[in-house]
């Protein structure tokens, strides 16, 4: 199953990637072959398999609600390419966040 051009462009847009025409074509092929490979799984008989979100046999790993010291701000900001007023400085965000 080959991904359409629009599908690749849509994925690129979601990933905030700017692709050239030539790249779109290349990824069309590459992503399609990955999907074909994964497609093999659909041949398996999963009639008796329970849905599973995790492979590890653990659950309910939780912590108590205790506060520990946070990191020093200088250290936290030292990795940032740009800072101002104790904040991370990033390119202007025009769209409102939506969470």
Partner 1 sequence: MAEYEAAIGLEVHAQLLTKSKMFCSCSADYAGAEPNTRVCPVCLGMPGMLPVINRKAVEFTIMTGMALHCQIPAHTKWDRKNYPYPDLPKGYQISQYDLPLAINGYLAFDVEGERKRVGIRRVHLEEDTGRLYHVEEASLVDFNRSGVPLMEIVSEPDIRSPEEAREYLVQLRMILRYLGVSTADMEAGAFRCDANISVRRQGEEVLGVPVEVKNMNSFRAVKLALEYELVRQSVLLTRGEPIERETRGWVSSENRTVSQRSKEEAHDYRYFPEPDLPPLEVAPAWVAEIGERIPELPEAKRQRFVRDYELSAYDAGVLTADRDIAGFYEQAVEIGTVGETEITPKVISNWVTGELFRLMKEENAGIESVNFSPTALVGLIRLVQQGLINANAGKSVLDEMFRTGQSPEQIVEAKGLAQISEVHALASVIRQVLDDNPKPVREYLEGKKQALGFLVGQVMRATRGKANPKVVNRLLQEALRERS
Shortest distance, position 41 Cβ to partner 1, whole Å: 16
Which pair of structure tokens corresponds to residue 95? 């769209």
- How far is C-alpha 77 from the geometric centre of its chain's CA atoms? 24
If binding is defined by CB under 8 A, does position 46 make contact with partner 1? no
Contact window for partner 1 (CB under 8 A) among 19-27, 28-36, 40-48, 56-64: 56-64
Q: Out of 6, 42, 59, 78, point to the residue binding partner 1 (CB under 8 A).
A: 59
Shortest distance, position 8 Cβ to partner 1, whole Å: 13
CB 86 within 8 A of CB 77: yes
Q: Out of 1, 38, 41, 92, point to the residue binding partner 1 (CB under 8 A).
A: 92
CB 38 within 8 A of CB 66: no
Rounded to whole angstroms, the Cα distance separating 36 from 39 reads 5
């Amino acid at each position: 199953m080959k991904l359409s051009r629009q599908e690749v462009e849509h994925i690129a847009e979601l990933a905030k990637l700017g692709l050239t025409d030539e790249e779109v074509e290349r990824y069309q092929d590459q992503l399609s072959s990955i999907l074909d490979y994964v497609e093999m799984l659909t041949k398996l008989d999963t009639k008796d398999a329970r849905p599973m979100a995790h492979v590890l046999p653990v659950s309910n790993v939780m912590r108590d609600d205790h506060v520990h010291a946070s990191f020093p701000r200088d250290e936290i900001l030292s990795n940032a390419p740009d800072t101002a007023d104790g904040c991370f400085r990033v390119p202007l965000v025009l769209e409102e966040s939506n969470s």
